[in-house]
Structure 1
Amino acid sequence: MILTNRLFERQAPSREAKSLYIFCEGKEREYKYFKYFERIDSRINVEVYKLNPHDDNSPQGLLDLAENSFIGDKPKFTLQENDEVWIVLDSDPDKSNSREEQIKKIKSECDLKENWFVVESNPCFEVWLFFHQNDKVEEFESDDVCKSWKKKVNENYEGGFDSRRHPIFIEEAIENAERNFKANENRKPLKGSSEVYLLAKTIFNVIKDKIRKVKNNL
């Protein structure tokens, strides 16, 4: 079965389109995943920030990149009314153990901004990808849990998860991730949970008819 966003009639965003500006810490997998949804429907414009090698992709660094993308004489993006900014993060701790505090801080800061959101996957983005084909949470006991998640995701697809094909199962991923979502009192997703379904809903609510039509015709 060939699944690719080339099956959709590509459209340039209309002037009335709502824009989503997405900032991910992953330089490849997250970027390629969300690029799948670019220009599928003229009513929504998905813009994914492409990290440069020198960019700081820590939680605080991503917030700084997002804020700086809309200011200055030559901003990278122009933020209009009703547009949304999304920061996509992992829970996996860094060497300095500063990550959790940074995430708490930027969630609080984004709460004060209109239409700015932070979504977190615990421990990594692969939890979100896992739910494209699975409706129950996996548990891993290994020392490198993220490595285990990546291996598990790739085992579910011949040749591994392909962001040119498999994001078409976004509807299933939303349903599975939301059904299995759990968080603690500090809004931190528990292991095996991902908040990315919140961002996915915003995209899918606009493009669902086209997604379903393509899937039905395959």
Structure 2
Amino acid sequence: MGFKVRGYTRDVPQEKVRDYSLFAIATEGTEREPDYFRLFDGIDRIKVDIIEPEVFDEENPQEKRKASSPSKVLEKVKAYIAENQLSADDGDSLWCVIDVDRWPQEQIEELHAFCAQKDNWHLVISNPSIEIWLLYHKRADLTDLGIKTAHDAKQALDKIEKGGYYYIKYLPLMLNAIENAQQADTNPDSYMPELLQTKVYQLGRALYERMGKVRFEKFVASLPNIEKEILKQKKKS
């Protein structure tokens, strides 16, 4: 991906100028996280690159699981960084979004150690899974939902919304999720969240701060039209 540089000077051609920050987001999941964060791409001042897991064989659950492990996320991130620049001066950042789930602790620690090398590289974890972040869009307190596993969290999310989870309906509530998740975070200085906690609010907050209130409100207002386009594309395919 060829980057444009930030700020115009006589030494830099106009077509090489950029005024946006890049959010490179590496996801463990192949649906919920990419669907949610991809829609921020193209908002004024923001560019989003989703670094997805390797394609896996749907009929082989074991291979599917391996493909989304923290170690595989790290492999993809290293390959991405080798090919692309991330300029902290321009507000560019890397975000690795993973679950605690049942992953070996050493894999999570290896990914954390990698991200800790740069101030603009971040690891944001949900415990036990990304559904905790999504549940905070609707609830400030998750303690009565009986969640102990990722499976429990998925079931709780499916039940909380009639018709099940749909990211278009959740994006307008991102500020609620940021506030609720931050309030629930009992150890904000630690990279590892406790059960029923998530650090993904840090990514949500970074996106919001880069957009600002007015751009975020325009983004939310545009979601019905975005949804129409998505449905139109699905019908064509």
TM-score class, shorter: 0.7 to 0.9
Which SS does the other structure have where 1:63 is aligned? helix
2:139 to 125, 134, 139: 134
Give CA deviations for 1:105-150 in whole Å, capped at 9, x if unaligned.
22122111241110000000000000001111235557x7212211
Rounded Cα–Cα distance in structure 2 between residues aligned with 1:35 and 1:69: 17
Tell me how many residue pairs correspond in the alignment: 195
Identify if the C-alpha distance between structure 1 residues 112 and 216 changes in structure 2 by more than 3 Å, giving closer, same or farther.
closer
Which amino acid counterpart does residue 87 of structure 2 have in structure 1? Q
In 2, are the aligned partners of 1:137 and 1:180 still within 8 Å (CA)?
no
In 1, are the aligned partners of 2:131 and 2:153 still within 8 Å (CA)?
yes
Rounded Cα–Cα distance in structure 2 between residues aligned with 1:84 and 1:185: 19
Aligned partner of 1:80 in structure 2 is 87
Q: How far apart are 1:44 and its partner, in Å? A: 1.4
In 2, are the aligned partners of 1:90 and 1:121 still within 8 Å (CA)?
yes
Work out whether 1:61 is the aligned partner of 2:72.
Answer: yes
Which amino acid counterpart does residue 157 of structure 1 have in structure 2? E
Which amino acid counterpart does residue 67 of structure 1 have in structure 2? K
Which amino acid counterpart does residue 137 of structure 1 have in structure 2? L
Rounded Cα–Cα distance in structure 1 between residues aligned with 2:119 and 2:184: 28
Query: Which residues in structure 2 correspond to 1:87-106 (within 5 Å)?
Result: 87-94=96-103, 98=104, 100-106=105-111
Identify if the C-alpha distance between structure 1 residues 216 and 149 changes in structure 2 by more than 3 Å, giving closer, same or farther.
same
Larger of the two Rg values belongs to structure: 2
Which amino acid counterpart does residue 68 of structure 2 have in structure 1? N
How high is the TM-score relative to the length of structure 1? 0.79
Which amino acid counterpart does residue 199 of structure 1 have in structure 2? L
Identify if the C-alpha distance between structure 1 residues 183 and 159 changes in structure 2 by more than 3 Å, giving closer, same or farther.
same
CA-based RMSD: 2.5
Rounded Cα–Cα distance in structure 1 between residues aligned with 2:38 and 2:221: 22
Give CA deviations for 1:177-207 in whole Å, capped at 9, x if unaligned.
0001124996421100000000110101123
Give CA deviations for 1:4-56 in whole Å, capped at 9, x if unaligned.
xxxxxxxxxx71211000001001111111112221x2211121123331483
1:197 to 176, 196, 201: 201
Which amino acid counterpart does residue 202 of structure 2 have in structure 1? L
Aligned partner of 2:36 in structure 1 is 33
Which SS does the other structure have where 1:209 is aligned? helix
Which SS does the other structure have where 2:167 is aligned? coil
Aligned partner of 1:10 in structure 2 is none
Identify if the C-alpha distance between structure 1 residues 184 and 103 changes in structure 2 by more than 3 Å, giving closer, same or farther.
farther
Q: Which structure 1 segments of 5+ residues have no match?
A: 1-13
Which amino acid counterpart does residue 112 of structure 2 have in structure 1? K
Rounded Cα–Cα distance in structure 1 between residues aligned with 2:219 and 2:86: 31
Rounded Cα–Cα distance in structure 1 between residues aligned with 2:119 and 2:193: 23
Rounded Cα–Cα distance in structure 2 between residues aligned with 1:48 and 1:195: 18
Identify if the C-alpha distance between structure 1 residues 138 and 132 changes in structure 2 by more than 3 Å, giving closer, same or farther.
same
Rounded Cα–Cα distance in structure 2 between residues aligned with 1:193 and 1:79: 29
In 2, are the aligned partners of 1:24 and 1:88 still within 8 Å (CA)?
yes
In 1, are the aligned partners of 2:53 and 2:76 still within 8 Å (CA)?
no
Name whichever structure is richer in helix by fraction. Answer: 2
Which amino acid counterpart does residue 25 of structure 2 have in structure 1? I
